[in-house]
Structure 1
Amino acid sequence: MTTPTTIPPELAPFQDQPAQLPAGTTGKHGILRLRLQPRRGRTELVELYRQTPLLVQQALHYDETLPDCACIVVVTTGGGVVQGDRYDIDIRLDDHARTHLTTQSATKLQQMDANHASQRQAFTLGEHAYLEYLPEPVIPYRGSRFHGHTTVVLPPTATALIAEIVLPGRTHHHAAEHFGYDLLSLTVDAARPDGRRLCGEKFVIAPGQWHPGHPAGMHDYSVLGSVWVLTPPATAEQIMPHLTAGTDPAAGWAAGAALLPNHAGLGYRILSRDTDAARRLVRTCWDATRRAVTGRPAPPPFAWR
């Protein structure tokens, strides 16, 4: 399955070139290609290609609850994602490989006055492979425009947990930062290795055209959390009872889960008023997924969380 190369219609107004450097030129086209493979009783990083501003140094094995899992931190060497940036990430897991993928900090979408930024990420899993992708939150600054497209290709025996938390902006910096970005377009697609499409989802948020605080949108919530667990049907059924669903007005969150079409797994959606509540609910789903797939719990939170 490949990511479409046509320009999504919502990006049509943001095609002018930045005055500093044209979009996607040297220093603005980050490339990351990784391949992971089980060796000597643990998953190791066997292929690595990186091009600034994306960086991965090595796979670590610091997770004491799942010591064979390769833990990888994706680093952005710049001061955030700026106008004209184009990121391409391809990650492959061989049969039975296990990896936990995260980012070194929040993805900060800097203020833009021309063009847009985009990130294409593709995950390809082998038989019985297990992927946890838990990046830090996305923070869209005032005036930013961003397009993200994630594709996952996996066989029926593999499991991929893809999580995402999107904040409304730098809400404590300036009142105009709260949903002050121009555009946020996020797509997730899943398919089998033979090309059969399983499911997909696309969010387009343009606060200037339709404010997310509308009662038919996020209402009085400001943080959006999404988790896609692509996994065999029996595993999805095992995870579902452990997910926190419903509403808690006092704690400031609402959440719900549903099985995905074509026996692809499950989806979990979270709305909250603060980042901590969204993190806690994502962690609940992460822990339930890891227990169902590996029989091991998620590691305890770091002391600074």
Structure 2
Amino acid sequence: MRATARIVAREDGRGGTALPVLRGEGPLALRRVRGSGAEARVLLVGAMSGPLGGDRFTVEAHAREGARLRVGSAAATLALPGQHPGEARYDVRLTVGERAELHWLPEPVISARGSDLRVTTRADLAPTARLVLREEQVLGRAGEPPGRLTTRLAVRVAGRTVLDQELACGPGAPGGWDGAAVLAGHRAVGQLIVVQPEFAQAPVAPRTLGEGAALVPLAGPAALVTAVAPDALRLRRLLDEALATLEHSRDSR
């Protein structure tokens, strides 16, 4: 199955954000929900199971100049084995214009036994854009080993790459993915990247954030938090605490 969902947000001229394009296909349904202030909020609702083997899903979100957009999902994405061989692909394309702000906060991706999923997330930002992006991966459901899961996250600001990383886990992944230098036996891993213009002049200081999380500055106006945890609940707590720390740092400047 192939499906694409597309979101376009723009200023509405009244201090808010309009959604001139909100279109989903097949299993990728989009719903506008109540936002706050100038922000428009959208939920991605999985209308069918998947992605399954061989599926190709794409989600595009574009926050145009001055828009404020928050995108989440109604439930976790569960990667399952399908009747068709080959890996499934889930591609996310984010674009944030001048003075625009995008919060990309989906629920976790769960890699079920026997599945094979590649997730690629690319974000392109204008120099004055702001981004909060969270990704979470859970390796296997309760009591089962994971499938094969490969994730790539790339972020560019003003055409300059500030992050481009890939992680492969599960059967067939390069050796060492579960070793002390990577997951160390944990079954939940996540990333939080925050881009804001103020970080260009005053980068965050690298530090640990509780057990299993680390904050590092990136080249340009960006900061990255990477966390590992024994389960999804603990992982979310670590990333929420990290985001609160970064927001407090911004407000205190």
TM-score normalised over the length of structure 2: 0.88
Q: Equivalent residues in 2 for 1:102-117 (5 A)? A: 102-112=72-82, 114-117=85-88
Shift of 1:232: 2.1
Query: Is 1:36 matched with 2:9?
Result: yes
Of 222, 231, 242, 2:196 maps to: 231
> Which structure features the higher share of strand residues?
2
The percent identity for this pair of structures is: 24
Aligned to 1:216: 181
Shift of 1:237: 4.4
Query: Is 1:255 matched with 2:213?
Result: yes
What is the RMSD computed on CA atoms of the aligned residues? 2.4
Aligned length: 248
Query: Is 1:281 matched with 2:251?
Result: no
Alpha carbons 2:140, 2:187 under 8 Å: kept: no
Tell me the secondary structure at the aligned position of residue 204 of structure 1. Answer: strand
Aligned to 1:79: 49
Aligned to 1:7: none
Shift of 1:196: 3.6
Structure exhibiting the larger radius of gyration computed from Cα positions: 1
Distance 1:236 1:47 in 2: 35
Shift of 1:272: 0.8
Aligned to 1:265: 222
Aligned to 1:16: none
Structure 2 gaps, min length 5:
none
TM-score normalised over the length of structure 1: 0.74
Distance 2:171 2:182 in 1: 11
Of 13, 17, 25, 1:51 maps to: 25
Shift of 1:238: 7.2
Tell me the secondary structure at the aligned position of residue 287 of structure 1. Answer: helix
Alpha carbons 2:136, 2:191 under 8 Å: kept: yes
Distance 1:244 1:96 in 2: 34
Q: Equivalent residues in 2 for 1:70-219 (5 A)? A: 70-112=40-82, 114-172=85-143, 177-179=144-146, 181=147, 183-193=148-158, 195-209=159-173, 210=175, 212-219=177-184
Write the letter of the residue equivalent to 2:31.
Q
Tell me the secondary structure at the aligned position of residue 235 of structure 2. Answer: helix
Distance 1:196 1:234 in 2: 15
- Over 3 Å counting, the alpha-carbon distance change for 1:68 and 1:236 in structure 2 is farther
